Amino acid sequence: MNLIIDVGNSYVKLAVYSRNTLKEKVVVKHNEIVEGIFELKSKYSTLKHGIISSVGHLNSEDFSNVEGLINLLVLNSKTKLPFKNTYKTPHTLGVDRIALVSASVKQFPNENVLIIDAGTCITYDFINKENEYLGGAISPGLRTRYKSLNNLTANLPLLETELPKNIIGQSTEESIHSGVVTGILKELDGVIDEYKTKYLDLTVILTGGDANFLSKQLKSSIFANSNFLLEGLNYILQFNSNE
């Protein structure tokens, strides 16, 4: 069994996989990571190998304690990957993007795949049917756009995400919802269409915290999976341990 540790900005996701099957997933605070792993190890006696991403969000003491609990693979730019990375600056490629591309290789081998991760940032990552990762794009996510309008202006309020009823906003709040949400939807559809002009047999995957909200509004057919990043991390661990 494998332990998958995804350290985010606010929380840590811990997942237990038996080969390719997700057995359990829990979300804990950063200062609860050691306790959370200990409880999972007590429950799953064969849990011996693990992988961790985004270790920069953990303090050195917690990271050392995690290393003491399990045989740990730390995901970074030097980790052996199940695809050819042609990114010009591989050391700057985020481990979350590496994990998502790895998941696409596992689930859609020998296909042209565009992975869109809609979270704090919206990341676009493309891997071709020759198993070559070519790169992608990064833009501000939904909440980032709402917050920037509030933080960088004197009078615009911070709003909760809401689907605009009309593209023509008849109040400041309606105008913000129209600008942010419609803008992102048009961006997503536009990017997908651009890729499809070059790769007719394109598979598009939408994942991330805002995936459910956005997927219902997009015109393009997409496959959304909330555990996609965890599956990618599990596949990287399998790839490195030959299990």
Binding-site sequence positions for ATP = 6-13, 120
3-state secondary structure the chain: CEEEEEECCCCEEEEEEECCEEEEEEEECHHHHHHHHHHHHHHCCCCCEEEEECHHHCCHHHHHHHHHHCEEEECCCCCCCCCEECCCCHHHCCHHHHHHHHHHHHHCCCCEEEEEEECCEEEEEEECCCCEEEEEEEEECHHHHHHHHHHCCCCCCCCCCCCCCCCCCCCHHHHHHHHHHHHHHHHHHHHHHHHHHHCCCEEEEEECCCHHHHHCCCCCCCEECCCHHHHHHHHHHHHHHCC
**Binding region:** 6-13, 87, 94-97, 117, 120, 172
**Binding region for K(+):** 117
Report, as residue numbers or ranges, the catalytic residues. Answer: 96
**Binding region for substrate:** 87, 94-97, 172
